Structure 1
Amino acid sequence: MIKKIILLIVILFSAKITAQEEAFQIPDYKAIEKEIQDKNSPNYYPKLMERLVKNDTLLTAENYKHLYLGYVFQPEYNAFWTSKNEKKLRELYGKEKLETADYDKIIELINSTLKEFPFDLNPINYLAYVYHLKGDEGMAKSLSFKFHSIMNTILSSGDGKTCETGFHVLLVDHEYTLLSFFELEPKGQSLVGKCDYLKFEKGKYKVDGIYFNIEKMLENETKAFKK
């Protein structure tokens, strides 16, 4: 069901992820932190977050870089966050066909989830799908724009070929969302230094695996244990 939704949203938005074809930039977290704390900056975090919550489609790639990567400096960031609505949403994700009566319930659950964590990728994608079913193409496209922009931010943070150039993510769940988007099936996961390494079946794809940088997740975990 989720794969069908992803393919539909790609068609809806007609967006193409090009970050893999362009030069990536390893995040400079010190510069990002300074920028999002500057009240005179176009990337001042409170202002950016207000626009994100409103599904502002005028947010730029640079804005999204500061939003997504800058979230690690927010006090509410929890690298091991899970939604209280996860069980209910999984049941709805598993349905072969949604009933009209399901739409408003799904919207309510996902909006509640996004208030807790505004970068929960699968719910954002699913919400776009539900609005499409409701006939609200404007909302579907703005949410699809958000989903693709976050994905592009992850993809522009590295190339995944080595730990040093691993893709930067806020949650482990984002690793699997990215692989699912490209229809890549991992066969194993291991911790390599400050990276998650997701291994593929030998010879099935052009690469044997992909590295995800989880340095900020590990730092967040350490802080949580010290509290």
Structure 2
Amino acid sequence: MHSQETGFTTPDYKAIEKEISDKNSKFFYPKLMERLTKNDTLLTHDEYRHLYLGYFFQPKYNAFWKSPDEEKLQAYYNKEKLETTDYDAIIKLINHSLNDFPFDLQQLNFLAYIYHLKGDETSAKIASFRFHSIMNVILSSGDGKKCETGFHVLMVDHEYILLSLFEIESKGQSLVDNCDYLSFEKGAYNVDGIYFNIEKMLENERKVLK
């Protein structure tokens, strides 16, 4: 979290939407998504920023999204010890999930781990690169200190994945204006809680519920 002291860039959604819709732009969304699905490790931070935050404008975006393979994957999560015969089945399920939603951070993290267990370090690094690139986009979108500078996320799950990455436990969740506020145990950390900007999520929820 200390890296946030160096600064952040609040997303300009109008500019992002314009760039990803321009066929002549290097941020044209279909081209960026094609590179992402091909596991292009040359994607820059700015390109990942347009991919992640630009997903809000894609017809497929759904703030309520759940993996179509959630139950099958959960069965593997719940196993005390994974068998070597499980690896390929898990990889297939996760890649199917990622084809549906390429920013499934929980599965990306699990995928990197499974590739590592399998001994496929090249694939593990590719999955890890995508996971950390997306996390860097979230961390560069705000500082979380107040609603106006909250971290921007595509879905609520991403809030908790960010906390788990830093081994931070939340004690409560509340809606403050257009933000999710996750509170911590008093005195446990340098701050009492952090804010996540969910303005675009709320817009999408209203569309879905209509």
The TM-score with structure 1 as length reference comes to: 0.90
Structure 2 residue 197 is matched with structure 1 residue 213: yes
Answer with 212-221 or 91-100: which moved more: 91-100
Which among 144, 147, 172 is matched to residue 160 of structure 1? 144
Q: Distance in 2 between matches of 1:106 and 1:53?
A: 18
Which aligned pairs between 1:76-225 and structure 2 lie closer than 5 A?
A: 76-225=60-209
Which residue matches 2:34? Answer: 50
Ranges in structure 1 where 5+ consecutive residues have no aligned partner: 1-16
Q: Distance in 2 between matches of 1:71 and 1:135?
A: 32
Deviation by residue 1:182-208 (Cα, 9 ceiling, x = unmatched): 000000000000000000011111000
Q: Say if 1:57 and 1:145, in contact at 8 Å, map to a contact too.
A: yes
Q: Say if 1:19 and 1:156, in contact at 8 Å, map to a contact too.
A: no
Secondary structure, aligned partner of 1:157: coil
Q: Distance in 2 between matches of 1:88 and 1:23?
A: 41
Structure 2 letter corresponding to 1:173: D
Answer with 166-175 or 50-59: which moved more: 50-59
How far is 1:115 from its partner? 1.1
Q: Distance in 2 between matches of 1:219 and 1:158?
A: 19
How far is 1:18 from its partner? 7.7
Which residue matches 1:3? Answer: none
Q: Say if 1:19 and 1:152, in contact at 8 Å, map to a contact too.
A: no
Q: Say if 1:110 and 1:123, in contact at 8 Å, map to a contact too.
A: yes
Secondary structure, aligned partner of 2:23: coil
How far is 1:19 from its partner? 4.9
How far is 1:157 from its partner? 0.2
How far is 1:21 from its partner? 4.2
How far is 1:222 from its partner? 1.0
Q: Distance in 2 between matches of 1:200 and 1:176?
A: 12
Which among 16, 20, 26 is matched to residue 32 of structure 1? 16
The TM-score with structure 2 as length reference comes to: 0.97
How far is 1:97 from its partner? 2.3
Percent identical among aligned pairs is 72
Structure 2 letter corresponding to 1:28: D
Deviation by residue 1:157-179 (Cα, 9 ceiling, x = unmatched): 00000000000000000000000
Q: Distance in 1 between matches of 2:4 and 2:127?
A: 22
Secondary structure, aligned partner of 1:205: coil
How many residue pairs were aligned?
210
Structure 2 letter corresponding to 1:190: S
